Amino acid sequence: MRTFRTGRFDRGRLPGYLRRICPNRAVAEVGDIDPSQLRNAGKKLVLLDVDNTLTAWHGEDVPAASSNWIAGLKAAGLRTCVLSNTRRPERLRRITERLGIDFILGRFKPSPRMYHQALEKYGVRPEEAVMVGDQLFTDVWGANRAGIEAIWVKPIALKEFVGTKVSRLAESMVRGSLYRVLEERA
């Protein structure tokens, strides 16, 4: 992806239709999200996307950066759960088993359904959860609809599902507007 920028978004400055798909933060990789910082911000549950967030799309290899980060989340006392609408549940099972994390398989994001299921399952309030994913129109939008903070991660690989390519086109059209309220770190 060209010009992926990182930092915090001042969402309040956006009109409603853009705020819906605007994350709270953008990071270059999951390892840039500090588990203790999440903990200190009152987070208890980290919801995760898999494809292009933790692994390359279609692949089953989990990069060390992802598995080390997951280990860090657990060490910080955070619960973790993957939210997925994959058509390959066996692959999801193998990946999550390897990482030692739970998953919820459900309806297409941005339906808020899986997010609500996760909050209920772990007994946490929306503000105590955070969603980490690589897509604005699925991961981030769904989280916003459920009142959950979202962290947008730069996608790991460029090779993607055809539906995702459509979503990326839509992302490329709104990215400029979102970046206008981005506060980049020095």
Residues that bind Mg ion (CB under 5 A): 49, 51-52, 134
Min dist. Cβ of residue 160 to Mg ion (A)? 8
How many angstroms separate the Cα of 24 from the Cα of each of 12, 16, 115, 116, 165? Answer: 10, 14, 17, 19, 23
| Nearer of residues 24 and 84 to Mg ion, judged by Cβ | 84
| Nearer of residues 134 and 171 to Mg ion, judged by Cβ | 134
Q: Judge whether 158 and 72 are in contact, CB under 8 Å.
A: no
Min dist. Cβ of residue 139 to Mg ion (A)? 6
Residue nearest to Mg ion (CB): 51
E strands, the chain, in order:
7-9, 25-27, 45-48, 79-84, 102-105, 129-133, 149-153, 182-183
Min dist. Cβ of residue 127 to Mg ion (A)? 24
Residue 136 has phi, psi (to 5 degrees) of: -70, -45
The residues that bridge with 83 in the sheet, in sequence order, are 104
Min dist. Cβ of residue 74 to Mg ion (A)? 21
CA distance 175 to 116: 27
| Nearer of residues 134 and 149 to Mg ion, judged by Cβ | 134
| Nearer of residues 58 and 180 to Mg ion, judged by Cβ | 58
